[in-house]
Amino acid sequence: MRRRSLLIGAASVTALSACRERRGRVWTAQVPPAPLPHQPAPLATAPPPEALPLGDGRTPTFTPAAYAEHVAALEQRLASLGVGVLSMRVEDPFVVAGDDAPDALAVRSRVVRWASDMLEKGFFDRRPGRILDVFLFRSAASYERGVRLLTGDGPWTPFGFYSSEHGGLFMNISTGGGTLVHEIVHPYVEADFEGAPAWLNEGLGSLFEQSGERGGEIVGYTNWRLRGLQAAIVKGKVPSFRTLCSMSHRKFYDGDPDVNYGQSRYLMYYLQETGLLRSFYKSARAAKKKDATGYATLVATLGKPDMAEFQKRWTEYVLSLRFDG
């Protein structure tokens, strides 16, 4: 039995370490913004984490003992699978593990901490009910290798995904932090809004692929999805909002996912920019038993307009937007 200091956000906790549809609840994102800074380190020689000072003021979701037990079990699992030694930090309610040096992981973990805090503040009343792992792999090669060893299957996206079945987020962090923020949304939706429709889940996740703060709240900005959506609008390939909202998970992911993601994202963006997004999310969550698709709640949130006329106005709005990235 050895004594371990676990990194919990900005707090130090000393504990004893003992002894293309959703496949198995898998969600994928597509493209993040610019890469985060990164400092390569040999996979098998990453040093153990060091304690940080107390003071972030967050009430932990799980006890220090629970985190110590989880980290110990994760270390054993990594060793048994041949993944190697990973640097680790606790960013409640996640354990962040990466094949980079602890100082590089600390930089990247700020995205996890910021996104979790902002999303809880703005949207979610419930945190994930179990400790989830966030694997940040520093290259495409280590991402491919790590996903295969940890899940038994290769990744079907080069950027990253969340798997409820495997209890974690798996990221090629060299491609940037946008996919990471997108995927963090999914375990929160899973915990806070069970059975959320695909368009809402992915619309909210993709909204925050390119995000920041405005007035102390998380907001999404225009991003790369805009051009594809505008092109689909011009070609007449964007479905009605009733059709979008009524899509099953299979149809959403296997139909025309680029259009479905883009339309969902920029509907969320419109709601955000008109001050309706947070009230819509909370109303949809409250009404999920009588409005499983979220469509009736959407119509009510918009003030019960003629939805064909609203879609024309929304289309004009989307065509007026710009993304210079």
Q: Which domains does the chain have, with CATH numbers?
A: 2-192 (3.40.30.160), 198-320 (no CATH)
Q: What is the pLDDT of residue 58?
A: 78
- Other beta carbons within 10 angstroms of residue 125's beta carbon come to 11
**Can you tell me the mean pLDDT for 213-235?**
97
pLDDT tens by residue, 61-111: 999 999 999 999 999 999 999 999 999 999 999 999 999 999 999 999 999
| Distance separating alpha carbons of residues 291 and 277, to the nearest angstrom | 17
Q: What is the pLDDT of residue 290?
A: 97
| pLDDT surpasses 50 at 43 | no
| pLDDT surpasses 70 at 268 | yes
Closest alpha carbon to 295 in 220, 198, 187, 228: 198
Q: What is the pLDDT of residue 56?
A: 60
**CB hemisphere CA count around 324 (13 angstroms):** 0
| Distance separating alpha carbons of residues 40 and 10, to the nearest angstrom | 23
Lowest mean pLDDT among 16-20, 74-78, 108-112, 172-176: 16-20
| pLDDT surpasses 90 at 8 | no
| Distance separating alpha carbons of residues 232 and 244, to the nearest angstrom | 14
DSSP, res 169: E
- Other beta carbons within 10 angstroms of residue 31's beta carbon come to 18
Average pLDDT of the chain, as a whole number: 86
**Can you tell me the mean pLDDT for 126-147?**
97
| Distance separating alpha carbons of residues 108 and 16, to the nearest angstrom | 26
**Can you tell me the mean pLDDT for 157-180?**
95
Q: What is the helix, strand, coil percentage profile of the chain, to 5?
A: 45, 15, 35
| pLDDT surpasses 50 at 36 | no
- For residue 234, give the H/E element and its range: helix 225-234
**Can you tell me the mean pLDDT for 212-221?**
97
**Can you tell me the mean pLDDT for 14-27?**
35
Length reported for the chain: 325
DSSP, res 46: P
**Can you tell me the mean pLDDT for 220-236?**
97
Phi/psi region, residue 244 (left: phi>0; alpha: psi -120 to 50; beta: rest), is: alpha
Residues 6+ apart with CB under 8 A from 8: 60, 64, 67, 90, 91, 92
| Band of pLDDT at residue 6, cut at 50, 70 and 90 | very low
Instruction: Find tokens 């995000």 and name the residue.
Output: 211
Strand partners of residue 163: 26, 168
